[in-house]
Structure 1
Amino acid sequence: MAVEEFKPDPYIATAMNCMLWIFYGLPMVHPDSILVVTINSIGLAMELIYLSIFFLYAPNKGRAKVIGWLALEILFLGVVAACTLTLRKTHSQRSDLVGILCVIFGVLMYASPLTVMIGNGLGALSGAIQLILYACYFKSTPKDDEKNGIIEPSELQLSGSNGPARSTV
């Protein structure tokens, strides 16, 4: 659901990215990363402010979607934190695991608008291929001169009535 055509999806994804980076910057995962925590805390606060404003104006279906996604993100972060802190013993192992997740989610967050651009890019590529093929085969295609009034089936136009069709030529 959208409010005035604004969708919460990128802001929900950014909130997840910020939460992961905050976890990455904690001393138990990656020591001496207070700036990572500070910057991403500000980013998370901004995303939560936006989502709360969205929440105020969204219909019930939109509110349920935001709450559901945020709950899933918090659950996912809890699972990542539990697995990282219990299964990885050194700071290097922990920061590698969480850092890889942060990079993956960061790429996904910034790549999400590409879903629109990929369709447009494929259409442009297809159009360019058609133009290139047309340019390559333009001279080799035989030209039809007027065939003495003979009407080809491709040149007929169907009428909307039950009467006979007339030529458009």
Structure 2
Amino acid sequence: MTGNLAHLTLAFGILGNIVSFMVFLAPIPTFYKVYKKKSTEGFQSAPYVVGLFSAMLWIYYAFLKTNVLLLITINSVGCFIETFYICFFLFYAPKKARMESLKLIVLLIVVGFGLIIVLTQFLASGVTRGVIVGWICLVFSLCVFVAPLGVLRQVIKTKSVEYMPILLSVALTLSAVMWFFYGLLLGDFNIAIPNVLGFTFGIIQIILYFKYKNKKPIANEKISEFEAKKYPVSEMQEKKIPEIIDHKTIDVVKLSALMCCDVLPVVARLDENGHDAGHVAIEPQAHPGVPNHIIEVAA
């Protein structure tokens, strides 16, 4: 029975390593965009600094425990990957963002993690040290798992799942399940308890995704309602312009302003004796900045 339990624990630990490794690789598309644009734009370094701090904290805890080698392996990989992300970010970040990132790194990694090691090494010993670090890991993990509440609130408010990718939500949920059972089978509740919250929030994210994935975002609905109030149905149909090159929408007001200048001027035509010979319309020159095929004259 003990042998089966050990094998089951090993299986969940290996699966947890695999899924967590996939989660660590999730930001690669983001950094590929940064590489292509040679700028971090609005991206923040905080998630990667927090990820590095968490991985370092769990490694420290694992060294104070026994039989948690798989906790060391995945978090060692996590430290390497998160460090790479941070260095990549700092290389392409503008000066202001780079300075803010360096301040966060010093505050969290150097000061925060340094104080935890110094205080636990000098003020605690033996089993007590492991218990204290375990509680720190537990509380910090709970805070990390609570962080997605802001995203869930945004999804419910806007009815848009644009910033909540389903694959990442599924991966985080599976990771929480694997590490929960790993901690439960080891009898280590510092590992198991935070993942209960992670699993719960993961399921909520998946439910919200399938609920709102086909919903029209509220922001777009408000714009549509505003246009409907501003223009009657018949007027909207008259002002409607078909999509032309690359499905780009042409502003009705600007196009109408251009059209006002395209009325064909009519001048009198005289014969060789000076008598009126009728009228002729002079075709105007097209605007140099507007293609001829998008100019329409209403009859």
CA RMSD, 1 decimal: 2.2
1:93-150 Cα deviation digits (max 9, x unpaired): 11111111112222222322322323555799xxxxxxxxxxxxxxxxxxxxxxxxxx
1:10–1:109 Cα contact (<8 Å) kept: no
CA contact (8 A) 2:46 2:104 kept: no
| Pair 1:34 & 2:89 matched | no
Give the one of 40, 46, 49 matched to 1:12: 49
* TM-aligned CA distance change 1:123 to 1:50, over 3 Å: closer
Asked whether 1:59 is paired with 2:94, we answer: yes
State the structure with more CA Rg: 2
Task: Give the structure-2-normalised TM-score.
Answer: 0.37
The number of residues matched between the two structures is: 120
- Find the counterpart in structure 1 of residue 121 from structure 2: 85
Q: Share of identical aligned residues, percent?
A: 29
Provide, for residues 65-89 of structure 1, a one-character-per-residue CA deviation record: whole Å limited to 9, x for no partner. Answer: 1111111122111111111111112
What residue is the counterpart of 2:134 in the other structure? 99
**5+ residue gaps in structure 2?**
1-38, 160-299
- The answer to whether residue 152 in structure 2 is matched with residue 117 in structure 1 is yes
Contact 2:90 2:98 survives alignment (8 Å)? yes
Letter of the 1:113 counterpart: P
Equivalents in 2 of 1:64, 1:93: separation in Å?
38
How far, CA to CA, are the matches of 1:7 and 1:35 in structure 2? 30
Which one has more relative contact order, counting CA pairs under 8 Å at least 6 apart? 1
- Could you tell me how far apart the structure 2 residues matched to 1:43 and 1:110 are? 17
State whether residues 14 and 109 of structure 1, in contact with CA within 8 Å, keep that contact through their aligned partners in structure 2.
Answer: no
TM-score between both structures, scaled by the size of structure 1: 0.62
Extract unaligned runs of 5+ from structure 1. Answer: 125-169
